[in-house]
Amino acid sequence: MGGKTRVPSQARAIRTRRALVAAGEKEFSKRGYASTTVKTISTRAGVAAGTFYQYFVDKDELLREIASSRLSDLAARTLPSIETKVPVSAGPEGVVDAVLSMTRGLVEIMLDEYRSNLGFRVVMLERRLVDELLDERMREVEQQIVDRLAVVLKRWSFPGDARATAHLLGAMAVSALNAHTRGPETFSDERLVDALSATMTRVVLPIAFVPAPRTSVEEKKK
């Protein structure tokens, strides 16, 4: 079905649309893309299938809206964490600690997002391969994070290609988190956060500050 969809203005219509969005996220998360239908979404939301089409053209449009909302939330949480001020005057050790704190915060936010709704994230990753509009939105948010990180690297006088490095740092984090959350558990979340944030810190720091940062696991062993 197609045609124009309804922009809710009355309280009841707004509640109905929100119910469809919430139901859609749960259905995609539980059933996956193929097994989720307008009927299953509508049933979970407690409305007739015909009501669904008053608000969304199809399930793909609903999926994009849910994805966009989650991506916007991720950007809102991630971008401020990248703005950590690094006290260069504190010396090498102070810089290491500040950068490690920044990378650790970034990894923890991303891990929380991955863990909070893994089923829906799997659907997003699969659908972006065939849905150009969804892929465009995901790239937009990814680019915001890379751009912000590149600016920060330049501010820290990073002695290399800041933009390319920012892109690789993002790819490193995404790849590691996907493997950690989607595959069999080989080590704890804490070890993942420690190892990934320490590795990212070694990449970010200027050559003069190469000493390996201490991880929380190492601190506990003392």
**Tens digit of pLDDT for each residue in 181-214?**
988 888 899 999 999 999 998 888 754 444 444 5
Q: Is the pLDDT of residue 218 over 80?
A: no
In this structure, the answer to whether residues 143 and 199 fall within a common structural domain is: yes
Residue after which a domain boundary falls, among 57, 77, 93: 57
Q: Is the pLDDT of residue 97 over 50?
A: yes
Q: Is the pLDDT of residue 215 over 90?
A: no
Q: Is the pLDDT of residue 93 over 90?
A: no
Residue at 222 is within a domain: no
Q: In terms of residue numbers, what domain contains 78?
A: 61-217
In this structure, the answer to whether residues 101 and 128 fall within a common structural domain is: yes
Contacts of 199 (CB under 8 A, 6+ apart): 172
Residue at 98 is within a domain: yes
In this structure, the answer to whether residues 39 and 134 fall within a common structural domain is: no
In this structure, the answer to whether residues 41 and 118 fall within a common structural domain is: no
In this structure, the answer to whether residues 198 and 119 fall within a common structural domain is: yes
Encoding tokens for residue 12?
Answer: 């009841």
- Per-residue pLDDT, averaged over 34-48, amounts to 97
Helix 118-127 / helix 132-155 crossing angle, nearest 10 deg: 100
pTM (global) more than 0.75:
yes
Contacts 24+ apart (CB under 8 A), 77-81: 77/109, 77/113, 78/106, 78/109, 78/110, 78/145, 79/144, 79/145, 79/148, 81/105, 81/106, 81/109
Q: How far apart are CA 47 and CA 211, in angstroms?
A: 60
Domain tally for the chain? Answer: 2
DSSP string, 56-116: -SSHHHHHHHHHHHHHHHHHHHHHHHHT----GGGHHHHHHHHHHHHHHHHHHHHHHHHHH
In this structure, the answer to whether residues 28 and 69 fall within a common structural domain is: no
- Per-residue pLDDT, averaged over 12-35, amounts to 96
In this structure, the answer to whether residues 88 and 175 fall within a common structural domain is: yes
- Domain CATH for 40: 1.10.10.60
Residue at 4 is within a domain: no
In this structure, the answer to whether residues 42 and 131 fall within a common structural domain is: no
Residue at 152 is within a domain: yes
Mean per-residue pLDDT of the chain: 86
Q: Is the pLDDT of residue 146 over 60?
A: yes
Q: How far apart are CA 188 and CA 70, in angstroms?
A: 25
Residue at 1 is within a domain: no
- Per-residue pLDDT, averaged over 169-177, amounts to 92
Half-sphere CA count of 23, side-chain side, radius 13 A: 22
Residue 31: what pLDDT?
Answer: 97
Residue 79: what pLDDT?
Answer: 84
- Domain CATH for 90: 1.10.357.10
In this structure, the answer to whether residues 17 and 107 fall within a common structural domain is: no
In this structure, the answer to whether residues 101 and 126 fall within a common structural domain is: yes
Q: Is the pLDDT of residue 22 over 80?
A: yes
Q: Is the pLDDT of residue 135 over 50?
A: yes
Q: How far apart are CA 134 and CA 120, in angstroms?
A: 13
Residue 117: what pLDDT?
Answer: 86
Residue 156: DSSP 8-state: T
Residue 6: what pLDDT?
Answer: 61
Q: Is the pLDDT of residue 56 over 90?
A: yes
Residue at 3 is within a domain: no
In this structure, the answer to whether residues 41 and 128 fall within a common structural domain is: no
In this structure, the answer to whether residues 20 and 65 fall within a common structural domain is: no
- Per-residue pLDDT, averaged over 54-60, amounts to 96
Residue at 158 is within a domain: yes
Closest CA to 158 of 200, 106, 194: 200
pLDDT exceeding 90 applies to what percent of the chain? 55
